[in-house]
Amino acid sequence: MAKLIDKFNREITYLRLSVTEHCNYRCFYCRDDEHTPNCKREDVLSYEDIEKIVQLFAELGITKVRLTGGEPLLRTGISKIAKLISRVDGINDVPLSTNAHLLEKFAQKLYQNGVNRANISIDSLIPEKFEEITRGGELSKVIEGIDAAIQAGMSPIKINMVVMRGVNDDEIESMIDFAIDKGIDIRFIETMPIGSSGIEILSQHVSEKDILAKINNHLDSRLMPIESSKTDGPAHNFKIEGTNSTVGIISAVSNHFCQTCNRVRLTAKGELILCLGQEDSISLKDAVRSDLTDDEIKDMIINAINKKPEKHVFDSVIDNISNRQMVEIGG
């Protein structure tokens, strides 16, 4: 089988596929309060575009395609998209990233159409604080969505918490207890300086070291490191002894994971983004709608992968990504 290997000898096996820029939440670290998606229907990848692009990536060695957004459950035909992707030869992992507000409605059908697991954003277990962070979200809906995903059979289910000093860093312990009680996994994420909204909260950044100290103190050091597989995400993961849960930390700023990066991102508008910290991209939407042959498009992808940078520079240079909104590029 063909392999996508960049010039730093990293094998790319993971495509994050955004299916919409729209989101029913407005989390303040994800996008500016006044931001409104400027995305017409003809700008967005069609079912046929998605199927073609995933097929080409699979022929190049991609095995994992994550559905993301925006909020992917807002995309009309999301179950159909999941089915199209899961039926592509070579794709054996189709996870979902969601805020879970609509997941109770979709969980069973998505699972039946190939979505095997889910990552769910939940930044507070206090309803009023959750509503403030999301600018209007309903915590009860999210918990109902988590329960529906569990019932549908998705596994593993991971909840993601963006840790912000003075906002929710006092809930690390309660979030761990929540995950253990549900029998699911928990990941804590450092804030990232993507877009002006992300840059504005850099002063609230909590490092992996500080997060891990709180975790260890709460769990009395009942952590066992887990060795990552090649299609895993960037978290440093630990098994919590005596439970069915794991805990992980994504430290994009304080302890970056670029040396093992195995992913690229495709926006809802079809732009292939090689790194969250760089502006380089190519339009695969234009390519699949042109007269280019499949081999020519695959050559475009291979050439783009060779431009994937060795690492981001979140800790020193952020002006080059200040005009991006995290909601537009699939997280």
The pLDDT of residue 199:
62
The pLDDT of residue 229:
65
**Of 17-26, 126-135, 278-287, 291-300, which range is least confident?**
278-287
* pTM summary value: 0.91
Q: In the numeric block, which tokens belong to residue 160? A: 């993601």
pLDDT at 178 over 60: yes
- Band of residue 204 on the pLDDT scale cut at 50, 70, 90: confident
Query: What does the longest C-alpha to C-alpha distance in the chain come to?
Result: 61
CB atoms inside a 10 Å sphere around CB 162: 24
The pLDDT tens digits of the residues spanning 206-255 come to: 999 999 999 999 998 789 999 876 545 677 899 999 999 999 998 877 66
Q: Which amino acid is at 264?
A: V
The pLDDT of residue 259:
83
| Domain 14-329 listed as CATH 3.20.20.70 | yes
Q: Are 33 and 62 in contact (CB under 8 A)?
A: no
> Among residues of the chain, what percentage have pLDDT more than 70?
86
The pLDDT of residue 234:
72
Q: What is the 3-state secondary structure (H, E, C) of the chain?
A: CCCCECCCCCECCEEEEECCCCCCCCCCCCCCCCCCCCCCHHHCCCHHHHHHHHHHHHHCCCCEEEEECCCHHHCCCHHHHHHHHHCCCCCCECEEEECCCCHHHHHHHHHHCCCCEEEEECCCCCHHHHHHHHCCCCHHHHHHHHHHHHHHCCCCEEEEEEEECCCCHHHHHHHHHHHHHHCCEEEEEECCCCHHHHHHCHHHECCHHHHHHHHHHHHCCCEEECCCCCCCCCCEEEEECCCCCEEEEECCCCCCCHHHCCEEEECCCCEEECCCCCCCEEEHHHHHCCCCCHHHHHHHHHHHHCCCCCCCCCCCCCHHHCCCCHHHHCC
- Band of residue 296 on the pLDDT scale cut at 50, 70, 90: very high
